[in-house]
Amino acid sequence: MELAYYSDYAVRLVNTEEPARNKDCLTSVEAVRELFGPNRQAARRATDSDVTRFRSVRARLRAVFEAADGGDETLAVDLLNSLLLEFPVSPQISGHETRDEDGKPDWHMHLADHPSNATAGYAAIAAMGLAFHLTSYGVDRLGLCEAPPCRNVYLDTSTNRSRRYCSDRCATRANVAAYRARKRLETERAAETGRTAKTAQATTPSTDR
């Protein structure tokens, strides 16, 4: 498992809430467990108490994305370092059950957490994954969706740093809104041009005798 994979933990957690829509999907222990994806063993550690703890970590992770999106790299790094210190992990070489063409273990780096609860384990992996993404691609690769009212977070892995939206759906919605805005502006300008022409024609002195 590549270390970059772990950065998705942060995105999944932060996007359980849509503040602008007053929507929060993180309301039960079942919702907490779903965030772990295929890591069912870790998910089983979750209890009702983790709901509140997960929300607290979510707010801190969102603050990292907001600082990065606002261009405050130092603040983003400081906030992330605070999470890394509070929720440490131990990197390990792992082969699990995967094998290469020769039948040998497919060695890769793995993050082993030593949590006192499910929140600590998840937060440790999410923070470390986000740290690897930040240092590998840059702070400006942590973004907030520009399609209002959506403010979901995303990780930009595009080659030209061009990503602006959290999903194709938001990108399409933003493009449609921009197109309609341009058409309205064109219509308003055409109407204004027509009114100006009529006014000019009406005020032009007649040369007929």
Find the mean pLDDT for residues 74-100. Answer: 86
Q: In angstroms, rounded to a whole number, what is the distance separating the alpha carbons of residues 173 and 133?
A: 28
Residue 47 pLDDT > 50: yes
Coil/strand/helix, residue 24: strand
Query: Residue 32: which of 61, 9, 7 has the closest Cα?
Result: 9
pLDDT tens digits, residue range 119-155? 999 999 999 999 999 999 999 999 999 998 999 999 9
Q: In angstroms, rounded to a whole number, what is the distance separating the alpha carbons of residues 43 and 192?
A: 62
pLDDT value of residue 2: 59
- The answer to whether residues 62 and 14 touch, using CB atoms and an 8 Å cutoff, is yes
pLDDT value of residue 204: 62
Specify the pairing of strand 108-113 against strand 153-155. unpaired
Residue 61 pLDDT > 70: yes
pLDDT value of residue 116: 79
pLDDT tier for residue 92 given thresholds of 50, 70 and 90: confident
Q: Which residue do the tokens 């607290």 mark?
A: 56
Q: In angstroms, rounded to a whole number, what is the distance separating the alpha carbons of residues 43 and 9?
A: 13
